[in-house]
Amino acid sequence: MGVGRVEQTADRPLPTPPPPDALVAARGLRKTYGTLEAVRGIDVTVRRGEAFGFLGPNGAGKSSTMRMIAAVSPASGGSLRVLGMDPAEDGPAIRSRLGVCPQDDTLDSELTVRENLLVYGRFFGLSRAEVARRADELLAFVQLGDRADARVEQLSGGLKRRLTVARSLINEPELLMLDEPTTGLDPQARHLLWDRLFRLKQQGTTLLLTTHYMDEAEQLCDRLVIIDEGIVVAEGSPAQLIGAHSSREVCELRFDVDDHDGAVGRLQRLGERVEALPDRVLVYAADGEAVAQAVHDDLGLSPRSTLVRRSTLEDVFLRLTGRSLAQ
């Protein structure tokens, strides 16, 4: 497996060859729009069979990276191999083996639910009979069988997203790419979609997804990269990232507005680290309950609310970037 279109720069070491089972191998990948640098040199390897995530806030460069990997947007620099091929050369061949679930549902609102699958499958060169067979299977899989003849414009956001997922599976893709799959969905619709994605993963489909929800990343991803301002700031499994960049537990304290600033200074000595957010203070420690106790007993502070929880990827992101993911 070679490396296409390498743009060697002085400060970048020779790219390490991707492992043989890599479906996606990006080295120093960049994307610029005019003067805007959306992606500023990303190294990513996605292996067959894993669920890989890009976690980062809106505007971090996740969607731009996804569009380059999906072979619809040319890279501005660096090298990229997808399914062992160069997207600049072999776009149609790569895309014939990918499933793409974009952030905006790009469904045809003039057509019915089932027709959307029928016409889309034909783009991949499948016969009408084969497309019809797969369409019925997929509608059952995303639990839309009873809405097969409904017009797309009559569907709710959650149903449209499920149809988009079904459509992205019509060519039985080796790599399923999902850009913000559950953004804008209600909790019930999110959980249903997560369940379907989890089943796909168990069937051996490689998943590559972007999200700005840390719970989604923790639920679905075996490995992920945290992306901020167009670069990778950390990489690993959710547990590794939390272990490396945060304490085991967090004690979240909310104070009255007048007490907030004074409390922050006094809390410093209780944990490994203290983060003061506008509305609450996070104290990072191995034992969160002990911190909560000490806030009361040792410091004599009385927060309006106290919550002890495990560290999450949100805390990792806050630690690495100084900002909150949800913003």
Residues of the shown chain interacting with other proteins in the complex, contacts defined by CB under 8 A: 33, 70, 72-74, 85, 89-93, 95-98, 100, 102, 104, 106-111, 115, 118-120, 122-126, 128, 130, 167, 171-174, 204-205
Residue 170 C-beta: closest distance to other proteins, Å: 9
∠ CA 94-49-122, rounded to 5°:
35
Q: Is the Cα dihedral 130, 133, 139, 140 positive or negative?
A: negative
Tell me the C-alpha distance between 56 and 224, whole Å.
Answer: 10
Task: Identify which of residues 106 and 154 has a Cβ nearer to other proteins in the complex.
Answer: 106
Task: Identify which of residues 112 and 324 has a Cβ nearer to other proteins in the complex.
Answer: 112
Task: Identify which of residues 205 and 311 has a Cβ nearer to other proteins in the complex.
Answer: 205
Residue 296 C-beta: closest distance to other proteins, Å: 55
Tell me the C-alpha distance between 102 and 199, whole Å.
Answer: 20
Residue 116 C-beta: closest distance to other proteins, Å: 9
Tell me the C-alpha distance between 136 and 117, whole Å.
Answer: 9
Residue 167 C-beta: closest distance to other proteins, Å: 8
Give Cβ neighbours of residue 164 (< 8 Å, ≥ 6 apart): 101, 102, 105, 106, 107
What is residue 14's DSSP assignment? P
User: What token pair was written down for 298?
Assistant: 């040792």
Task: Identify which of residues 115 and 222 has a Cβ nearer to other proteins in the complex.
Answer: 115
Task: Identify which of residues 172 and 298 has a Cβ nearer to other proteins in the complex.
Answer: 172
Residue 88 C-beta: closest distance to other proteins, Å: 11
Residue 138 C-beta: closest distance to other proteins, Å: 13
User: What is the helix (H) or strand (E) element at residue 115, kind and residue range?
Assistant: helix 113-122
Tell me the C-alpha distance between 55 and 227, whole Å.
Answer: 6
Residue 86 C-beta: closest distance to other proteins, Å: 11
Task: Identify which of residues 102 and 303 has a Cβ nearer to other proteins in the complex.
Answer: 102
From the list 307, 312, 247, the residue with the least C-alpha distance to 280 is: 307
Tell me the C-alpha distance between 39 and 80, whole Å.
Answer: 13
Task: Identify which of residues 1 and 277 has a Cβ nearer to other proteins in the complex.
Answer: 1
